[in-house]
Amino acid sequence: MSTRSELVIQDLVKAVREVLWRHDVTFEEYRAAVGFLMKYTKGPEFEVPLTCDMLFNATISDIEMKHRKGSISNLEGPYFLEAVPEIADRIKTRGEQGDELIIEGRVTDLAGNAVEGAQLYIWHSDSQGFYSGFREDLPTDLYRGRKVIGPTGAFHVRTTMPAPYTIPHDGPSGELLGFLGRHPWRPAHVHFKVRAAGFVEHTTQAYFAGGQWVDSDCVEGVRPALVHEPEERGGAKVLKINFVLDPA
Ligand code: MBD
Ligand code: FE
């Protein structure tokens, strides 16, 4: 009996060989492709996960949803950090720039019951598209927080609007985007991860209707159910979002 890895890898190789046959790929073209892959050994280490995430992370999230009934999963991306401050109702930001954003909703089980004690991690870019912890001038207590959910399941967090972001595109991942006829932009988005004992860990993102690049996300992560039309409230935008967790 074959292992699962053996089955998947055998199918993958078969699929690539079919493409080579379909396009009559020559030895010169084959050598050029190997040369392209060699660029990954000469550049920064993040290029390998970046290319993989760019091409396949969204697909894995979609496959995960085949086995889940709760709210829809989406890419984790490369900027999640475990060690973040617990917050009451405000994420620390540089404050001076960007529109205010209020994020509110509930964390529940499939039946709508509050999941008390759930840990809701929220992270997003600053108004320039940069993530804290990945730049010297942006310490990790900014633009990130962990909210512990109370007995009603409700949360209400105040922060600032994120901005569109270009993935690093001066290496082979960027070159590959070029071959695919794609630009390197992601639309503005907010990341969420919910952890609770007895439930499947839930990782997702929220996007904003009408935002730049929402229709052409370079990592193809946007799903209609994740695009929100924020309300206006006292000069702030309000993102209403519920997280429905599947049992473990
Ligand atoms: C990001 O900010 C992101 O969320 C993903 C999925 C990929 C690259 C950068
Ligand atoms: Fe992101």
The string of pLDDT tens digits covering residues 75-93 is 999 899 999 999 999 999 9
Q: Rounded to whole angstroms, how far apart are CA atoms 70 and 107?
A: 11
* pLDDT higher than threshold 90 for residue 33: yes
Q: Enumerate the domain spans of the chain.
A: 60-245
Helix (H) or strand (E) holding 156: strand 154-160
Q: What is the structure's pLDDT at 98?
A: 65
- pTM (two decimals): 0.91
Residue 218: name the closest of 169, 172, 170 by CA.
Answer: 169
The string of pLDDT tens digits covering residues 6-20 is 999 999 999 999 999
CA of 9 to the centre of ligand 2 (A): 30
Confidence label for 136 from pLDDT (cuts 50, 70 and 90): confident
Question: Which 3 state secondary structure label does DSSP give 227?
Answer: strand
In this structure, the chain runs to a length of 248
Confidence label for 133 from pLDDT (cuts 50, 70 and 90): very high
Closest atom, ligand 1, to C-alpha of 57: 6
Ligand 1 pocket, mutate which of 132, 138, 165 (most atoms under 8 A from CB) = 165
| Pocket flag, ligand 1, residue 142 (CB < 6 Å) | no
User: Tell me, what amino acid is at 232?
Assistant: E
Query: What residue's CA is closest to ligand 1, atom 6?
Result: 77
Q: For the domain 60-245, what is the CATH superfamily, name and number?
A: Aromatic compound dioxygenase (2.60.130.10)
